[in-house]
A and B are shown apart, each in its own frame.
Chain A
Amino acid sequence: MTDTTANRSAGQETLGAYVPHHPIRDALTGSVASIAFTFIVVIAVGLLWVGPRFLSLGNVSIIGTFLVVPLIVGACSGFALLAGVVDLSIGSIVGISSAMFALFLSMGWNIWLAAGVTLLACLLFGGINALAIVRFGADPIAATLGMLTALRGITWVLVGNQRMIPAFDLNWFSIVTMPVLGLPLFFLIAIGLTLAAALVVTKTRLGRHVQAVGGDARAAARAGISVNRVRTFALLLSALGAGIGGIIYEGQLGSAAGATGFGLEFQVYAALMIGGYSILRGGVGNPIGGALGLLAVAGVTNILDLQAISPYYVNIIVGLLLLAAVLLDRLRGGDAYE
C-alpha cells in the first residue's frame, strides 16, 4: 500500500507539470477555451467600437462569404497539421484549381467533368507532396514550399498573358452565393464541415490515429498504426480541400486570376495556430479551435475595415496574436524550444 503511493508520487514528480484530469478545468484552460475567449473579446470589441451593426445579418454574411474557402481549406489541412506534416502548398493549390476549373469551363466542358478532373489533378499534387515527404523523408515545410512555388508558376502560365481566365457559370455562381436564412449557404456548409471534422478527430479511430501519428510517430508505429499511410491520407485530404476551395473561389468570382489564393496558406495557418494548432508539432489542435481562430481574425479584419483603418494593422495584430498563442501553448505544457 505504502509502496504504491510512493510509486505514484514518484511518477507525479517525474511528470513535472502533472495536473489531475478535470473536465471543467480542462474546458476552461484548454486551447479551444483560450481561442473561444479571444473570439468573444473580438466580438465585444466589435460591438463596442462598431456598434450593433457589427453583428447584423448583413455584416455577418459578408464575413461568412469571405470565410467559406478559408474554413474548408483549414478544416482539411488541419488534418495534415495534426499528423505532423504541414502543407504550405494549399494557397497555390487553391490558385491552380481555380485556374484549371475556369480553363475547362471556358473550353465548354461539363461542370462535373471540369470539377472532377481539377480535383484529380489536386490529388496528384498532394500525392507528389506525400511521395517527397513520406517516402523520401523530405522536410514538409521545404518540400511543400517547393510545391507552392512550382504550382504558382504553372498557374501564371495557365492564365496566360491576360493574367486571368473569365469563366462565369450562372448555375454554379447562384449555388455558391445562395443565401439560406439570410446567411450564405456555403458558409453554413463550411461550418458543418468543421463540426464533422471535429467529430472525426475526437470520436473516430481515424482521428485518434492521425493525432497519435502527429503526437509521437514512433510510439504510433509501435502501436501498429501505419504512419506512412496516415500521413499520405492527411496530405491528400489537405490537397483535396484546397482543390475544392479553388473551385468555390472560381464560382464566387466568376473568373480565376494568377494571384488567386496567393498567401492564403499564411492567412489560414496563422489563424489555425492562433486556434491551437501547431505547424511544427503534430497531435495538437482541434477543428473547432481552428475555425474560431479564422473567425476571430476575420472579425478583426472586418472591424478595421468598417473603421477605415489601414489593413496593414491586421497583419500586425495577427502576428502578435500568433506569438501570444504559441507562447500560451508553451506555458500550457507545449514543447519549449531549447
Chain B
Amino acid sequence: MSLDRTMESAPAATPPKLRLGDWGTGLTLVAVWLLLIAATGLYRPDFLSHQTLLAVAFTMSVVGVLAIGMGIISISGGFIDLSQPAGLILASLVAVRLSEAGVPFALVILGSVLTGMVWGAFNAAIVVLAKINPVIVTLATNFIGLAVLYLVFQLAQVPNGSEIYNFGRARLLEVPLLWWPMLLLVIVVGYLMRSTRYGRHAVAVGGNRAAAQARGISLKKTRFATFTAAGGFVGFAAVLFASAAGPFNPSSANTLQLNVIAAVILAGISLAGGRGNFWMLLLSVGFLSTIPTALVFYGLSSDTQSIFQGILLIIAVAIDGYRARRSMQT
C-alpha cells in the first residue's frame, strides 16, 4: 500500500519546474503563431477568412492525432516512431476496404483503430523480444511495410457517398467535423498522461528507466502499452486521413512524418523522454498547420513550405537540446 503511494507521488516530485517550462513553451508558441497570423493578415487581409480557418483546421486534424501517438512514444523513452506512414496507410487501406464492403461507419473506425494497434504491438514485439532500439525497428518495419503495401495496392480511395466519405466533408460550428475528435483526443490524452497512474508510469519510464524499474514498473509492459496505444491513434488518424485525402498511394503519408515530429518537439515533448505536456500539441500543430496556408498568401510556392519546416525543426531541436543540457547541469 505504501509502496503504491510512493509510486504515485514520486514522478510528481519534479513538476514545479516543468510547469514553468510549459508556460514558456506555450507563450512562445502563441506569440509566434499570432505573429504569423498578424503579419500575413496585414499583408493580405483576405487571409483572415473562413476559407483559411477551414484549411488550417483540416491540416491540424490528421497531424494532431498522429502527434498524440508520436508524443506517447517520445515521452516514454521510445524516441521516435518512424513507422507511422506505413501504419497509417495500412489502417487507411483497411478503412477503404471495409467501407467498400458496406460495413457501418462505427465498425470501419473500429477496424482501422484495431489495425493501428496491431501494427504498434507488432513493432513493440520486435523491440521487446529482440531488444533492438525502436528507431531502427520502426525504420525497418516502415521500409518493409510500405514495400508490401505497394505490392498489395497502388491507389485507393473511400467510395463516393459512403458514410466515411461524408464524414470527411462534414462541418460542425464552421470548422471541419474532423477537427473536433482531434481536439477531444488531445485534451483527454493530456489529462490521462498527467493524472493517471498509467500515464505517469509511461512518463517515468521515459525520464529514468532504472528508477522506474526500481519502483516496480515493467519496462516491457510499458513498451507494449505505449506502442499499442500510439498505434491506436495512428489507426484513428487513418480514418480521418482516408475520409478526406481523396485517392492515396502507399507514399502519400510520407510528407506528414516530418510535420508530426516537428509538432512534438515544438510542443516541448522531449525526444529524450520524460518531459512534456500534450496540451501544447494544440498550439504547435496549429502553428505548423498555418504555415502552408500563409505561404500561399505570400505568393510562395508549396516548395518553400519544407524550407520553413526544416529550419523550424533545426531551431526547435537546438532549443530542446540546450534545455536538456541545462537541466542536466543543474
The interface of chain A, by Cβ under 8 A from chain B, is 128, 132-133, 136-139, 141-143, 145-154, 156-157, 266, 270, 273, 279-280, 310, 312-316, 318-320, 322-323, 326-327, 330, 336-338
Contacts and interface: CB of A to CB of B under 8 A. Distances in A.
A316 B144 contact: yes
B101 interface: no
B194 to A, nearest CB: 24
Contacts of B132: 323, 326-327, 330, 337
Given A146-B310, A157-B307, A279-B136, A138 B317 contact: yes
A138 B147 contact: no
Contact of B324 (A137, A319, A330, A336): A137
B209 interface: yes
Which size class do B's interface residues fall under? 35 or more
B151 A312 contact: yes
A312 B311 CA distance: 32
Given A279-B135, A315-B146, A338-B219, 5 more contacts: A143-B314, A146-B316, A150-B314, A157-B304, A270-B140
Most buried by B among A139, A148, A326, A338: A338
B160 interface: no
Nearest to B258: A149
A238 to B, nearest CB: 16
Contacts of A327: 130, 132
A324 to B, nearest CB: 10
B320 A139 contact: yes
Given A153-B307, A266-B143, A330-B130, A132 B314 contact: yes
B310 A148 contact: yes
A279 B82 CA distance: 14
B135 A280 contact: yes
Given A139-B320, A280-B133, A318 B310 contact: no
Contact of A138 (B133, B137, B219, B314): B314
A23 to B, nearest CB: 29
B311 A137 contact: no
- Counting from the closest, the 8 A-B pairs by CB-CB distance are A150-B310, A146-B313, A149-B310, A153-B306, A137-B321, A153-B307, A319-B144, A315-B147
Interface string B143-174: 11011101100000000000000000000000
B267 interface: no
A72 B127 CA distance: 32
Q: Determine chain A's interface SS by DSSP, over half rule.
A: helix
B312 A146 contact: yes
B265 interface: yes
A336 B317 contact: no
Contact of A142 (B134, B271, B308): B271
A327 B272 CA distance: 23
A234 to B, nearest CB: 17
Given A137-B322, A143-B317, A146-B314, A153 B304 contact: yes
A146 B311 contact: yes
28 contacts: A132-B314, A136-B319, A137-B321, A138-B320, A142-B261, A143-B318, A145-B313, A146-B311, A149-B310, A150-B306, A152-B306, A153-B306, A153-B308, A153-B309, A157-B301, A157-B304, A157-B307, A270-B139, A270-B143, A280-B135, A316-B143, A316-B144, A320-B144, A326-B132, A326-B136, A330-B132, A337-B132, A337-B133
B322 A136 contact: yes
A310 B151 contact: yes
B80 A141 contact: yes
Contacts of A330: 130-132
B141 interface: yes
A145 B318 contact: no
B149 to A, nearest CB: 9
Nearest to B141: A319
